[in-house]
Amino acid sequence: MSASDSLLKPLYRLYEDSLVRGLNKDLLPHHIGVIHDGHRRYARDHGLPDYEASYRVGMEKFEEFLQWTAEFEIEAVTCWLLSTENLARPDEELLPYYEVLKDLFDRIPNIAGGRDIKVRFIGSLDLLPADLVASAKKLEEACSTGSRRVTIALAYGGRQEIVDAVKDLVTDLLSEEAVAESVVDRIDKDALSARMYASDLPDPDMVLRTSGEARLSGFLLWQAAYAEYSFVDVYWPAFRRVDFLRALRDYTRRTRRYGR
């Protein structure tokens, strides 16, 4: 830690305390979606030897983030750790990341409050290596009864989720031998919502994206229609508690209109 960092650290702590005191706990989001963006740019900007090093920093940050959300009793978080588009990256990027994810999944039950969460994975896990899927399933089993919900999106794409929901609904309707006109009439938003990957979760109140990119990139396209968005300029590995507190503060100051 540099001398300047040593001087700034207590100042940030005072600022964080001030932010916490100013938060209206009754207005905090119940469900937060997170796009953990910026690992590769972080590696380049910080002169790290490879992307794996930044992935490891980012997943350590992920563990911290789970503890921050526990601190404020956030009931549910949905975290996008790998998109279907990411799967097109070369093996020299993907394979180390898979190893980092397996290490993360092994650690989560042992972090503070790890047993108090219920973990579920969504996405096209059939596209992933068998050992990574096995690690994900092991984590689901280890964290299956907690009160706070942690949903991890792996090999996930929002458009594919909607396509899968439509296919499931049409398949169900056709299995009832419904006539074509009846099938069309019974395709509505409630029927599709019930077939999303995590249909028992409430829609996210807030979607947070790091790295300064101001787009959804396909994340929870159906569910986030009326979410409040928070686009944070820092890369995910550099995301701090103070950045999270600012995002919560800004959220509590907004008036949610739900399109009205």
* Domains located in the chain, CATH noted: 27-156+197-252 (3.40.1180.10)
Are 199 and 161 in contact, with CB atoms under 8 Å apart?
A: no
Pick from 1, 14, 77, 28: which is nearest to 241 by CA? 14
Per the annotation, the verdict on 37 as an active-site residue is yes
In the set 17, 26, 50, 86, the catalytic residue is 86
Tokens 């229609």 correspond to 225
pLDDT tens per residue, range 148-160: 999 999 999 999 9
Is residue 214 helix, strand or coil? coil
Per the annotation, the verdict on 86 as an active-site residue is yes
What's the rounded mean pLDDT across residues 163-185? 83
| pLDDT of 5 above 90 | no
What pLDDT shows up at residue 178?
60
In the set 17, 26, 37, 116, the catalytic residue is 37
pLDDT tens per residue, range 89-144: 999 999 999 999 999 999 999 986 777 999 999 999 999 999 999 999 999 999 99
CA distance 6 to 191: 55
| pLDDT of 181 above 90 | no
Tokens 């991890």 correspond to 152
What pLDDT shows up at residue 93?
93
| pLDDT of 42 above 60 | yes
pLDDT tens per residue, range 47-89: 999 999 999 999 999 999 999 999 999 999 999 999 999 999 9
- What whole-number percentage of the chain has pLDDT above 90? 83
CA distance 224 to 34: 11
What pLDDT shows up at residue 253?
95
